[in-house]
């Protein structure tokens, strides 16, 4: 922890007792209503990482957005529900005014060297410096904290043309913190949620949406994340189905040099 960056301030927690923390939403990471959900997910994970009994590093994380977060103070409790020899399970709750607002589960583990391989190929993309930065004038504050360069699948509001004739919801984007920040589990978690909603890409218009559940599997340890330094990562995502008020968003995050760092999925409420 302890990088002096707006992201670290936004996810900062004050320990009351082990596993019980106080935090505060950050104006810099505000979304249209309430805070950006990615930073909230990172803050719940941070509660686990700062717990004195934590074993190993994060391997799986699920965050459920149960209700809107009000700007202001919140409480987080992170409880180890089961500790094994090399894995540990967690339940995390963010509450405001004694009401549950966000719940989460996490698995941390001590990894061991094993046979390893990646089955999918790194997408064929231009280098980040060759992709234009879109104008994000009028966008919510949190977007100012990212440098996002969309190679394919920008929402219409960010497209240069009248319509990008979206036949599918696929997006490919280079992304990094702005100002730059060294990649770690916390920033990677946020980046997993930093795609525009798939339905905005597919329908070429903004409609009301809200993530109800987000899952991340980490395919890297902290040493591997460090190797990305403060450079960009590549995000790829798409929806498989939109049906009666909910769609999925399934994606991968790659290091700048082609190492698969995380796979992620979320289920999103929409109104149309």
Binding residues for a second copy (CB under 8 A): 59-60, 62, 64, 66-67, 81-82, 84, 87, 89, 91, 93, 99-101, 103-105, 107, 109, 111-120, 168-169, 202-203, 212-213, 215, 217, 219-221, 238-246, 248, 250, 252, 260, 263, 265, 267, 269-272
Place of tokens 């330094």: 229
In the complex, what is the shortest distance from the CB of residue 220 to a second copy, in angstroms, rounded to a whole number? 7
CA distance 199 to 155: 9
The upper half-sphere exposure of residue 227, i.e. CA atoms within 13 Å in the direction of its Cβ, equals 12
In the complex, what is the shortest distance from the CB of residue 240 to a second copy, in angstroms, rounded to a whole number? 5
Tokens of 265: 């999925």
In the complex, what is the shortest distance from the CB of residue 88 to a second copy, in angstroms, rounded to a whole number? 9
For residues 239 and 250, is the Cβ–Cβ distance under 8 A? yes
In this structure, the number of other CB atoms found within 10 A of the CB of residue 190 comes to 26
Work out the burial of residue 14: count CB atoms within 10 Å of its CB; fewer than 13 is exposed, 13-18 middle, 19 or more buried: exposed
Compare residues 12 and 87 and give the one whose CB is closer to a second copy.
87
In the complex, what is the shortest distance from the CB of residue 264 to a second copy, in angstroms, rounded to a whole number? 9
In the complex, what is the shortest distance from the CB of residue 81 to a second copy, in angstroms, rounded to a whole number? 5
In the complex, what is the shortest distance from the CB of residue 66 to a second copy, in angstroms, rounded to a whole number? 4
Compare residues 150 and 201 and give the one whose CB is closer to a second copy.
201
In this structure, the number of other CB atoms found within 10 A of the CB of residue 233 comes to 24
Compare residues 95 and 230 and give the one whose CB is closer to a second copy.
95
Compare residues 119 and 129 and give the one whose CB is closer to a second copy.
119
Place of tokens 């994060």: 58
Compare residues 103 and 230 and give the one whose CB is closer to a second copy.
103
For residues 57 and 221, is the Cβ–Cβ distance under 8 A? yes
CA distance 174 to 231: 10
Compare residues 54 and 149 and give the one whose CB is closer to a second copy.
54
């Amino acid at each position: 922890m302890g990088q002096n960056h707006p992201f670290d301030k936004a996810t900062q927690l004050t320990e009351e007792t082990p596993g019980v923390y106080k935090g505060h939403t950050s104006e810099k990471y505000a979304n249209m209503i309430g805070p950006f959900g990615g930073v909230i997910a990172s803050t719940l994970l941070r509660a686990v990482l700062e717990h004195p009994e934590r074993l190993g590093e994060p391997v799986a994380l699920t965050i459920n957005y149960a209700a809107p977060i009000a700007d202001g103070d919140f409480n987080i409790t992170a409880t180890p529900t089961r500790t094994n020899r090399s894995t540990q399970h967690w339940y995390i709750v963010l509450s405001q005014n004694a009401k549950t607002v966000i719940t989460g589960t996490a698995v941390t583990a001590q990894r061991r060297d094993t046979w390893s391989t990646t089955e999918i190929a790194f997408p064929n993309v231009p280098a980040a410096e060759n992709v234009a930065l879109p104008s994000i004038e009028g966008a919510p504050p949190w977007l100012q904290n990212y440098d996002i360069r969309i190679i394919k699948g920008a929402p219409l509001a960010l497209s240069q043309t009248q319509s990008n004739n979206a036949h599918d919801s696929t997006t490919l984007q280079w992304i990094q913190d702005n100002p730059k920040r060294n990649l770690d589990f916390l920033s990677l978690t946020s980046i997993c949620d930093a795609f525009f909603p798939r339905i905005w890409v597919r329908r070429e218009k903004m409609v009301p949406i809200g993530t109800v559940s987000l899952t991340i599997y980490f395919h890297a340890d902290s040493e591997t994340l460090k190797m990305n330094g403060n450079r960009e990562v590549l995000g790829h995502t798409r929806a498989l189905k939109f049906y009666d008020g909910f769609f999925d968003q399934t994606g991968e995050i790659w290091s700048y040099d082609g190492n698969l760092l995380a796979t992620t999925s979320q289920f999103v409420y929409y109104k149309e």
